Amino acid sequence: MIRFIFFLLASALSAPSAFGWGCEGHQIIALIAHAHLTSAVSTAVDRILMDNPIDPALSRFCQDRPADPMADSATWADDVKGPEKTAVWHYIDIPLALHQPASTGPYCPPIGPSVDGGDRPGCVTDAMEYEWFILRDQARSSAERATALRYMIHLVGDVHQPLHAEDNDDRGGNCTALHCFGEDRPVNLHAIWDYKVIQHQLELKRMTQPEYAAELDNRFVGKWSEWSREKIDFIAWAWESHDLAEPVAYGKLKPPIPVQPLDASATCDAQRDKATALNISVRDEYFSETMPAIDEQHAKAAYRLAALLNQSF
């Protein structure tokens, strides 16, 4: 579990390249989910978050945050993952070449304490199980449950980002140098999925996060009954995201980045050089071919989060 080191190395290409769905995506998921909470649960969620506010001294990466308790909390887990040693809780490195759902044990060590100042072990699926247990435990303090709630709001979003559920020997797309929408400065594939494509969509539509959340909810509301009634299964959600990575995130590139076996000795620079040699430029065609999947993953994450919270409270 060394991806966080490579996230730091990749920051020269794109600073916010390890943030799940970025500011806008996580906020959109939270806004849609909030709209589908029952009245009683919505009141309970707002109360626990407002009674246990985020430390005003905490440095927040996302400056443009909608005035909604869940949306404001949606990116908190990214802001604290360094101090809390939870960087590896945001993804699971299932090899991209692996297609048949199997045990995630080899890619997800059990949650444990930090050792010698390092990251706590775990991955996104067992981190959700861990925090969901705390959230449902009425014997826990309000502050503990608020922290667990903030983790759940964020991590449910993360597990629906395909590049947070795979590794193609490139640290989830962090070691790929691509040109995006004609910009001179290269950006990595992970960052394109985290925030570049979503920001491009908001700019084209001239919409804010709440406006786009409302449009997305209206477009997918027919799926609410189906997705909200599914069994809550974090591992299944991770495999579902994983299975989108190859045909969509990698496969829609021109030329596509091939699936390759994992090589523990490979360096991020070497993988970046391979991608650079392909001379890939992300333009409108990639945007139009990937945005439907991105929209669906946002809506699916939001409806599943709402169903989870309605059940939890």
| Size (the chain), residues | 313
Q: What is the Cα gyration radius of the chain?
A: 18
> Residue 62: how many CA atoms within 13 Å on its side-chain side?
25
Predicted local distance difference test score (pLDDT) of residue 4: 41
- Residues 304/230, Cβ–Cβ less than 8 Å: yes
3-class state of residue 17 by DSSP = coil
pLDDT digits (tens, 9 = 90+) for 201-222: 999 999 999 999 999 999 999 9
For 110, counting Cβ atoms within 10 Å of its Cβ (0-12 exposed, 13-18 middle, 19+ buried), the class is exposed
pLDDT of res. 293 = 97
Report the 10 Å Cβ neighbour count for 142: 11
Q: pTM for the full model?
A: 0.92
Handedness of CA 248, 26, 46, 51 (dihedral sign): positive
Tell whether omega for the bond before 106 is within 30 degrees of 0, i.e. cis: no
Burial 190-208 (b: 16+ CB within 10 A, else e): bbbbbbbbbebbeeeeebe
Q: How many CB atoms lie under 10 A from the CB of residue 38?
A: 12
Cβ atoms of 244 and 237 closer than 8 Å? no
What distance in Å separates the CA atoms of residue 103 and residue 170, rounded to the nearest whole number? Answer: 22
Tokens 């809506």 label which residue? 299
Question: Which portions of the chain are predicted below pLDDT 70?
Answer: 1-19
Q: What is the pLDDT of residue 201?
A: 96
For residue 19, the model assigns a pLDDT of: 61
CA distance 5 to 185: 22
3-312 CATH pick, 1.10.575.10, 1.10.1060.10, 3.30.70.360, 3.30.1180.20: 1.10.575.10
> Which among 11, 116, 2 has a CA at the least distance from the CA of 19?
11
Q: What are 129-158's pLDDT values in tens digits? A: 999 999 999 999 999 999 999 999 999 999
pLDDT, residue 56, reads 95
Q: Would you state the pLDDT for residue 266?
A: 80
Q: What's the rounded Cα separation, in Å, for the pair 70 and 54?
A: 12
Share of the chain above pLDDT 70, in %: 94
User: Residue 96 and residue 165: Cα distance in Å, rounded?
Assistant: 9
Q: State residue 18's pLDDT score.
A: 56
